[in-house]
Structure 1
Amino acid sequence: MFFEKYGPLADAYVAENEQNVIAAIKRLVDVPSVEGAPEPGKPFGPGPAAALAEGLALAKELGLATHNAGNYIGWAELPGTGDKQVATITHLDVVPQGNGWTADPFDMQVKDGWLIGRGVADDKGPSVLCLYALKFLKDHAVPLRHSVRALLGANEETGMADVDYYLKNFAAPDFCFSPDAEFPVCHGEKGGFNGSLVSGELHGNILEFEGGVAHNVVPDRAACLVKADITALTGREGITLEAENGAVRIRGWGKGGHAAMPAGTVNAIGLIVDYLLDNRLCTPEEEAYLKVLQKLHHATDGSGMGIAASDQVFDPLTIIGGMIKFEGGCLWQDLDCRYPTAITGAEIERRLNEACAGAATVREARWSEPFYIEAGDPAIQALLDTYNQVTGEHGKPFTMGGGTYARHFPRAVSFGPERADLALPEFAGPMHGANEGANIAHLMQALKIYILALLRLQDLEL
């Protein structure tokens, strides 16, 4: 009876609001919201604060009560008759635009049934879906047993200090889902390890080395300025050379993507490292460090650095080098590692230092342990049942390497709206990549799923 009662209402609502949803997503995407230098009242810089203001303005226009918690995080909500709370949590900050875009990433475009722009998939599009799901509940005067809150974060991509602030100052929801992954339901996330491989102070041939836009993005381009004679060098696939004041600027051209899903990517930093070593352009001290980086970049499963690991719960470990810089006479290659239960953050740090063999040291190491909730949890089953009923599929809960807000809450999962089986057209790219795309039809289906899931959660004893 549940589906028969609300399914047709949700279908009609989604059809009526499709263009409104697209326009709302554009409003948010068109606000550049990469983390910036903190300002008074804007802990993550002006961009995320502006996006949060726009998101809350949209929520107010939809008739929802809103609150801005010091530009750390905000929310829209509907009250329930009881003392329990269901929440969704998405984020309005984005990774830097990166390179390779065919249009302005902060001017959302609609093309052949797709939205193109930074944040359409991660995570401004899903943010709008959550607000419109609450609007459905309000417009249809659904009697709510549990209050429903749509949380809008502002620091997911670079530290999740927003949710730390929230949980320090406000009570955690009794159940929460984050539309920041794939369907059907993700009930576990790998551990996350970050740090940097740092050389000793170098006084050799490398004059500059830079690449990458964020620690959790495989870099699609990088550049190194090195003392060399360009007439003795030739380019190769993925490498171009430019003479510059008696030196040579080596540019690497790879294929970017999300650090949690590095299959199919090509790390531009790794291309340059190989070129420098193959052409013997560096001093022995520099070569020793570069050989460490070569082991890192040649195997995203960690086998080159002696940290490969797998278990029965998660996919195998992954590791990438996202950004490199030459600072204070030292090279810094940062790391983004997603690891299963078969290894610990402390063991990863130990083995990485061992693999460096004195040519580099691990600095600023930090990690979070894997997160996992049993798939039989009634709330997880409610989400799964909703997804399968809407789609006609027989999906099963899964675990992943990506890290979402869910891991910060006592009872939470990530829930769509991406689909692993959805092929990207040539003109669209993945989350964190150039030409980030989101399929309109799938977004609209996700809106229906979220509406019905929030309704179904009302029947549970939380």
Structure 2
Amino acid sequence: MTTKIDYDTLAKKYYDEYLETLKKLIAIPSVYDEATVSDEHPFGENVTKALNFMVDLAKKDDFQVKNYDNKVVEIIIGDYEENVTLLGHTDVVPAGATGWEYDPFTLTEVDGGVLRARGVSDDKGPMLASYYSLKLLKENNLLGKYQVRLLVGGNEESGSACMHHYFQTLKMKQPTYGFSPDADFPLIYGEKGIINYEVKGNFDLKNIHSIIGGVAFNSVIEKCTVNLDSDPKFVEYLKQNNVKFEMEENGDTTDIIFIGKAAHGSTPEQGINAAMVAVNNLAKFYNNAELHKICEMYNDPYGKGINAYNESKDMGKNSMNLGIFHYENKHLSLIVNFRHVDGVNPESVINNIKEANKPYEIEVSSINKLLFYPLDSTLVSTLLNVYQEETGDYESKPLAIGGGTYAKDADNIVAFGLTFPGVEPHMHDPQENIKKDDLFKGISIYAHAIVALGNKIEEEKK
């Protein structure tokens, strides 16, 4: 009879060390930084710094560790071919300019055990929980005849070039089984397909010199700055319509900063797109045909305006997030993050988008396939059973989501936590948070999950 392992008791030893490590990692502002990108720092200097932080941590704890070109760090236990692989990341989205009650790069505990910071839930906190699950298993000799890998990437938020480098360019072995600690519990069995594209056009808005907003394709635009000829009547129009804005006079021109609400690009309906607030009001007041067209195409967060609306039983509706808006020197550039449900043909929807956007040019930058694992598959059923045993939650159901995770970048991977049902972590916005006790529980769940998947590997070898 197999002895039941009390992972919670084993994990307690690591709680204090875990929090101290998280504090140090949070302090590194590991945002993709084009200004410091180089051959040595492919995603910017601070992303490299965060990856090397993990290298130093793993060396201190006597793991096998290797940094692949400052793109991916590989942390390993065991030299077997079959493996349980975990995929996490240290890069984060930009903090944004407004809305933070605390320094985004200082780990702050509030409200009796809630941790606040950029990256605390996406994904530094969960990634480190998985790291300490490896340390727990190694130090307690709980692993069998299979390898365990933790891959820590530096480009998840900007296209996952890190994992593409590891699996496609370097052609490293694929996971036998595994998970990414970068989403929700109980687990994610389906993820929408993702199409990122740019809209390009040229036109003259006369008195409107620039419209600039957005920091990432997968975040709802929180602030948008419009520079235009000074026009007190337009300002009065905004006030009468209760539009949230700030303004700065610049001689003959005025900067009007429209205020929206940040949200994750997979759920644009939960935010308020400041660029679209700006464009809608400019279009109405100045009756501009070009701006009216943009409103018609990009007001609806489900893609109706670009003839790309679909919905399915498992995955809900398509979503469309206009993440970056840039109009300057008579040139328009829009970066759009479009996510589609099952049953959608990507080529057909791209054709619809191109047709709807005419005469503007569409340039597709990336297409990420849809992910779907049957609920009765070994991977899904094993992880669900672990979650249920560790939490006692037999009611919550596996999810199909709009968010894209590392699960699409490797074989036999699903996203598995660390956000518990009913919790709102506010990823990608200034309220990003996670409960300290949830992170601690994550160590236990992930340790149990690694062993359970490893047991499946050993059973299949017999």
Shared fold by TM > 0.5? Answer: yes
Bigger mean CA deviation after superposition, 233-242 or 97-106: 233-242
Decide which of 213, 216, 222 is 1:214's aligned counterpart. 216
- Write the distance in 2 (CA, Å) between the matches of 1:261 and 1:24: 31
Shift of 1:106: 1.4
Shift of 1:388: 0.8
Shift of 1:206: 1.7
Task: Find the counterpart in structure 1 of residue 82 from structure 2.
Answer: 84
- Aligned partner of residue 145 in structure 1, secondary structure: coil
Identity %: 27
- Aligned partner of residue 4 in structure 2, secondary structure: helix
Task: Find the counterpart in structure 2 of residue 129 from structure 1.
Answer: 129
Task: Find the counterpart in structure 2 of residue 5 from structure 1.
Answer: 4
- Write the distance in 1 (CA, Å) between the matches of 2:259 and 2:234: 21
Shift of 1:171: 1.1
Shift of 1:400: 0.9
Matching residue's letter, 1:196? E
1:152-172 alpha-carbon deviations (Å, 9 max, x no partner): 111111111111111132111
Task: Find the counterpart in structure 1 of residue 337 from structure 2.
Answer: 336
1:452 aligns with 2:448: yes
Question: Is the CA contact (8 Å cut-off) linking 2:297 and 2:357 kept in structure 1?
Answer: no
> 1:62-461 alignment to 2 at 5 Å?
62-79=61-78, 82-99=80-97, 100-111=99-110, 112-167=112-167, 168-169=169-170, 170-202=172-204, 204-231=206-233, 233-234=235-236, 235=239, 236-280=242-286, 287-358=288-359, 360-394=360-394, 395-423=396-424, 430-461=426-457
C-alpha distance 420-279 of structure 1, shift in aligned 2 (>3 A): farther
Task: Find the counterpart in structure 2 of residue 427 from structure 1.
Answer: none
Matching residue's letter, 1:213? V
Task: Find the counterpart in structure 1 of residue 40 from structure 2.
Answer: 41
1:214-262 alpha-carbon deviations (Å, 9 max, x no partner): 0100011111112242255312332344433222322211110100022
Task: Find the counterpart in structure 2 of residue 50 from structure 1.
Answer: 49
Question: Is the CA contact (8 Å cut-off) linking 1:109 and 1:115 kept in structure 2?
Answer: yes
1:100-121 alpha-carbon deviations (Å, 9 max, x no partner): 2222211221223111111111
- Write the distance in 1 (CA, Å) between the matches of 2:143 and 2:199: 55
* TM value normalised by structure 2: 0.92
- Aligned partner of residue 217 in structure 1, secondary structure: coil
- Write the distance in 2 (CA, Å) between the matches of 1:335 and 1:302: 11
Question: Is the CA contact (8 Å cut-off) linking 2:220 and 2:261 kept in structure 1?
Answer: yes
Matching residue's letter, 1:229? D
Matching residue's letter, 2:399? F
> 1:21-40 alignment to 2 at 5 Å?
21-37=18-34, 38-40=37-39
Count of paired positions:
447
Bigger mean CA deviation after superposition, 336-345 or 437-446: 336-345
1:413-435 alpha-carbon deviations (Å, 9 max, x no partner): 110001240156xxxxx111113
Matching residue's letter, 2:314? V
1:252-284 alpha-carbon deviations (Å, 9 max, x no partner): 11110100022321111111111102211x6xx
C-alpha distance 290-93 of structure 1, shift in aligned 2 (>3 A): same
Question: Is the CA contact (8 Å cut-off) linking 1:349 and 1:362 kept in structure 2?
Answer: no
Shift of 1:94: 0.9
C-alpha distance 232-145 of structure 1, shift in aligned 2 (>3 A): closer
* TM value normalised by structure 1: 0.92
- Aligned partner of residue 455 in structure 2, secondary structure: coil
Matching residue's letter, 2:437? A
- Aligned partner of residue 268 in structure 2, secondary structure: coil
- Write the distance in 2 (CA, Å) between the matches of 1:35 and 1:150: 21
Shift of 1:96: 1.0
- Write the distance in 2 (CA, Å) between the matches of 1:383 and 1:414: 10
Shift of 1:16: 2.5
- Write the distance in 1 (CA, Å) between the matches of 2:69 and 2:234: 58
1:189-228 alpha-carbon deviations (Å, 9 max, x no partner): 1110111222223252221111111010001111111224
Question: Is the CA contact (8 Å cut-off) linking 1:79 and 1:144 kept in structure 2?
Answer: no
- Write the distance in 2 (CA, Å) between the matches of 1:192 and 1:275: 30
Shift of 1:334: 1.2
Question: Is the CA contact (8 Å cut-off) linking 2:143 and 2:451 kept in structure 1?
Answer: no
- Write the distance in 1 (CA, Å) between the matches of 2:14 and 2:295: 51
- Write the distance in 2 (CA, Å) between the matches of 1:457 and 1:144: 11
RMSD: 1.9
Matching residue's letter, 1:248? T
C-alpha distance 244-420 of structure 1, shift in aligned 2 (>3 A): farther
- Write the distance in 1 (CA, Å) between the matches of 2:202 and 2:436: 50
- Write the distance in 1 (CA, Å) between the matches of 2:106 and 2:175: 34
Matching residue's letter, 1:74? V
- Aligned partner of residue 374 in structure 1, secondary structure: coil
Question: Is the CA contact (8 Å cut-off) linking 1:201 and 1:328 kept in structure 2?
Answer: no
Question: Is the CA contact (8 Å cut-off) linking 1:105 and 1:435 kept in structure 2?
Answer: no
- Aligned partner of residue 256 in structure 2, secondary structure: strand
Shift of 1:46: 0.8
